Amino acid sequence: MIPDENLVFDPEGLIQEVVAETHYFPSSWRENPNAQFVRSEFGALFEYKFVHYIQEVISLLTAPLVLCYSLPPRAEQIVDFFREFTVFEEGLGYVCSFAVFDFKRHGNAKVTTYYYIVVFLFSFSFL
């Protein structure tokens, strides 16, 4: 509980330990890891457990209200969505047509499936 007298505060070393665990290191953090904006951004990414607990309790109270008041007027639209976009796939059964990647029906028919896969994978390479 008593810190070492020779212990020196090393923000660069601490941020490297965090990066080793999270694999997240924005370029803005590299220049000055002990800046206040780095601390606030890090705090926004990793909130306290108490904040998560409060958000969960609030969602338990608000979810029934949303379900009771906003969904009944839209029930017909929801049923229409399931009716229009449900397809039968051999070996799978009834699934959403978006899940089978039917690009001729939902996308640009001139663009190949390969293009969509490359764009999808490329979008995750910058995260």
Q: What sections of 1-127 are H helices per DSSP?
A: 11-22, 27-31, 36-45, 49-69, 75-85, 103-106, 113-124
Cα–Cα distance for residue pair 41/21, rounded to 1 Å: 17
Per-residue pLDDT at 120 exceeds 80: no
Question: Helix or strand or coil: residue 3?
Answer: coil
What pTM value is reported for the model?
0.41
- pLDDT tens per residue across span 3-54: 777 777 777 888 888 888 888 888 888 888 888 888 888 888 877 778 888 9
